[in-house]
Chains A and B, each alone.
Chain A
Amino acid sequence: MTSAYEPLSLNVPEPGCRPGDTPDFSDFEIPRAGDVKRPPVDVDPDAIRDMAFSIVRVLNKEGEAVGDWAGDMSAAELREGLRHMMVLRTFDARMLTAQRQGKTSFYMQHLGEEAVSCAFARALQPGDMNFPTYRQAGLLVASGYPMLTMMNQIYSNAEDPLHGRQLPILYSSKEHGFFSVSGNLGTQFVQSVGWAMASAISGDTKIATGWIGDGSTAENDFHAAMVFASTYKAPVVLNIVNNQWAISTFQGIARGGVGTFAARGHGFGIASLRVDGNDYLAVHAVAKWAAERARRGCGPTLIEHVTYRAGGHSTSDDPSVYRSRREAAAWPLGDPLERLKTHLITIGEWSEERHAQAEAEILAEVTAVQKQAEAVGTLGDGKAPSPRDMFEGVYETMPPHLVRQRQEAGY
């Protein structure tokens, strides 16, 4: 028997570059800063379908802020934004080293992605709730959460607000609009939609934000979140942080045949757009637009933050095994700190000297806070919360079987 068909073969997408290859982003289409127009916040999602295939950018190569999306932040706010990103980068570097020194079990840094969460936080109002992943600590840094408390959590020491129950960096702060990070992927995306629905059910004016990585958009929870957000027109901003890599898996494995992650929103009738995630001004402007849209009852927005994970996935990861060491430097959207710094210098609101001075001050501050945290304790130094505590808070009132187990354990 001969078949009329050729044998089928499986399509397994490959990234453009592996270790040893020369990084090549020539296929990556980047519109010029200022090219994408800013629509009114009550725009019909159908009218902006093209925005899911373009990228909102404000900062051009010369460091100028151009186009419709520019101009909504003062120089003082921008300097504060730069400071937040510098704090986050310094904090990350110190904690990464602390993990290598055995002071904690695990750490995840934001290198190259600082603008996404730092800029976004400044577009929200008190009472709004973020449902972050593990790589949005900028939401805390930029909303005044104490660095010392973050470190206490990372060290699981006696002043860890989570009493050593949760992995390092999986913070929780209702007061700062930061929902407890689960550690499971994608699950919280749909919870953010539920929180937003609750705000609408209650006649409130608060909004929620959901966060997910490029890789986790493949999870069922992404689809669930989109369906519920679409059906109930929930006041939520749904953020995909496309940092190109899901551990060793390039974004093409989750993205499949569709042009962009943002385009997934079209099937749900959700306003969908992409933003240059390394452009602090663009992220802030887009976040503000989407938040306003949600708060006015115009419905959800899906934002794809196009960025690059310049570091490893976590302290347990070695990216040189699966991607070129030169890829980060070749990333065409540059570095978010450098770009904002250049902009501030360009408009005469910053200088190399002030920057160097700020760097030194921040390093001194982070180092001093780290000493304070380490004086309280680090993981495994015997100063952790009591083992008795692990039995607490499983339920509001401890049921009899847990009381028996706690006694059996000797606490």
Chain B
Amino acid sequence: MTMIEAIRDAHDVAMAADDRVVVFGEDVGFFGGVFRCTAGLQEKYGKSRCFDAPINESGIVGTAIGMAAYGLKPVIEIQFADYVYPAYDQIASEAARLRHRSNGDFTCPLVIRMPTGGGIFGGQTHSQSPEALFTHVSGLKVVLPSNPIDAKGLLLSAVADPDPVIFLEPKRLYNGPFDGHHDKPLTSWKNHPLGDVPDGDNAIPLGKATITRDGADVTVLAYGTMVYVAEAAAEETGVDAEIIDLRSLLPLDLDAISASVRKTGRCVIVHEATRTSGFGAELMSLVQETCFYHLEAPVIRVTGWDTPYPHAQEWEYFPGPARVGEALKKVMED
């Protein structure tokens, strides 16, 4: 199963189990979404449970908040994470705070899905990684799966969650894992163990990281596409890296992070998003706060540059295996 099919399957399972789950967004109804993540849902569940929305992200999130307050469980799609900014006020000022400000009188169980990240020649309007804009807001949860099994399991947990969840889908991984070697042939989820998605309701709890590669020398903290880039970098440099796929940025599995860093004594943080005030800054602070006396070397970040996401220069911007590999070697030398 591809990640797209896994996400569609999660919708299907959730909608079949609970009439209150409604799905809407731009092009998600009849067409099934520009990435096809909601294909067939309208036909199966009817137009009142899966429908097209006007091109107004603020309106999509705003109406979904009203629906959640009524008692429905909206699962909405923002067509690209790059388009979420008009909805930011509704997310940060409204959805995130409703439970707290009303002391639980009203709540907002809501999932806001959006494709994130680059690697598809999407230029500056189809490539951004805005996760830190959401982890900075109290009241939100932020989830970012890296494979079909996790995408389905984490989306099911997000739908079941009583609070608003930002669900970021690395679009470069929709059809297959990608390690940053853009000049090599595409790989598919077909025959990949992580594409072997179980049937039914196999929810994966939010807030739990997973170790995708055991290692002794350095801990790599990554999520989304960068998990595969880090794996490639470890193989190519021969550095025995332990790679942690965070999966959920908020809540964050700090126990898994600090246990690994205390073991390895070294840490490299990798994300696609711009560096300054990126989520890597938070990770670095937490590593410093919890593991300082176990560190053998300064923590290194490998990230997108602090520029708009470029078009023609995509692979110079994208933190690929060469850059991550250099960081692995450097952290071992320091």
Q: Check: B63 CB closer than 8 A to any chain A CB.
A: yes
Quick one: which of A180-212 are within 8 Å of B by CB?
Answer: 180, 182, 184, 187-188, 190-202, 208
Minimum CB–CB distance for B198 against chain A, Å: 26
Minimum CB–CB distance for B228 against chain A, Å: 28
Query: Which of chain B's residues has its CB closest to A210's CB?
Result: B66
**A399 — which chain B residues lie within 8 A by C-beta?**
207, 250-251
Query: Which of chain A's residues has its CB closest to B206's CB?
Result: A399
A195 near B69 with CB under 8 A, answer: yes
Minimum CB–CB distance for B103 against chain A, Å: 5
Minimum CB–CB distance for A226 against chain B, Å: 9
Q: How far is the CA of A192 from the CA of B62 in the complex (A)?
A: 9
B69 near A191 with CB under 8 A, answer: yes
* Interface residues in A, total, Cβ within 8 A: 46
**B86 — which chain A residues lie within 8 A by C-beta?**
220
With A196-B66, A201-B67, A202-B70 known to touch, is A162 a contact of B94 (CB < 8 Å)? no
B62 near A187 with CB under 8 A, answer: yes
Binding site for B on A (CB under 8 A): 129, 131, 161-163, 165-166, 170, 172-174, 179-180, 182, 184, 187-188, 190-202, 208, 220-221, 223-225, 227-228, 231, 393-396, 399-401
Q: How far is the CA of A225 from the CA of B254 in the complex (A)?
A: 41
With A184-B93, A394-B139 known to touch, is A221 a contact of B62 (CB < 8 Å)? yes
B162 near A396 with CB under 8 A, answer: yes
**B163 — which chain A residues lie within 8 A by C-beta?**
395-396
Q: Name 7 A/B residue pairs within 8 A (Cβ), A-sorted.
A: A187-B89, A190-B66, A190-B90, A197-B66, A231-B54, A395-B139, A396-B163
With A182-B93, A190-B62 known to touch, is A162 a contact of B101 (CB < 8 Å)? yes
Q: How far is the CA of A227 from the CA of B59 in the complex (A)?
A: 8
Segment of B104-112, B171-179, B293-301 in the binding face: B104-112
Q: Check: B138 CB closer than 8 A to any chain A CB.
A: yes
- Selected from A131, A161, A182, A396, the residue in CB contact (under 8 A) with B99 is A396
Extra contacts, 5 of them, besides A187-B89, A223-B56, A225-B62 (Cβ < 8 A), are A184-B93, A193-B63, A195-B66, A201-B72, A202-B70
**B94 — which chain A residues lie within 8 A by C-beta?**
182, 184, 187-188, 191
B101 near A400 with CB under 8 A, answer: no
Minimum CB–CB distance for A392 against chain B, Å: 8
- Selected from A174, A198, A227, the residue in CB contact (under 8 A) with B66 is A198
Minimum CB–CB distance for B111 against chain A, Å: 15
- Selected from B22, B105, B107, B252, the residue in CB contact (under 8 A) with A401 is B252
Minimum CB–CB distance for A74 against chain B, Å: 33
Quick one: which of B156-171 are within 8 Å of A by CB?
Answer: 162-163
Q: How far is the CA of A223 from the CA of B161 in the complex (A)?
A: 31
- Selected from A179, A192, A200, A225, the residue in CB contact (under 8 A) with B59 is A225
Q: How far is the CA of A180 from the CA of B66 in the complex (A)?
A: 11
Query: Which of chain B's residues has its CB closest to A175's CB?
Result: B105
Query: Which of chain B's residues has its CB closest to A174's CB?
Result: B105
**A223 — which chain B residues lie within 8 A by C-beta?**
56
Minimum CB–CB distance for B140 against chain A, Å: 9
Query: Which of chain B's residues has its CB closest to A131's CB?
Result: B66
Q: Check: B200 CB closer than 8 A to any chain A CB.
A: no
With A198-B70, A393-B100 known to touch, is A190 a contact of B58 (CB < 8 Å)? yes
Q: How far is the CA of A199 from the CA of B275 in the complex (A)?
A: 44
Most buried by A among B49, B66, B86: B66
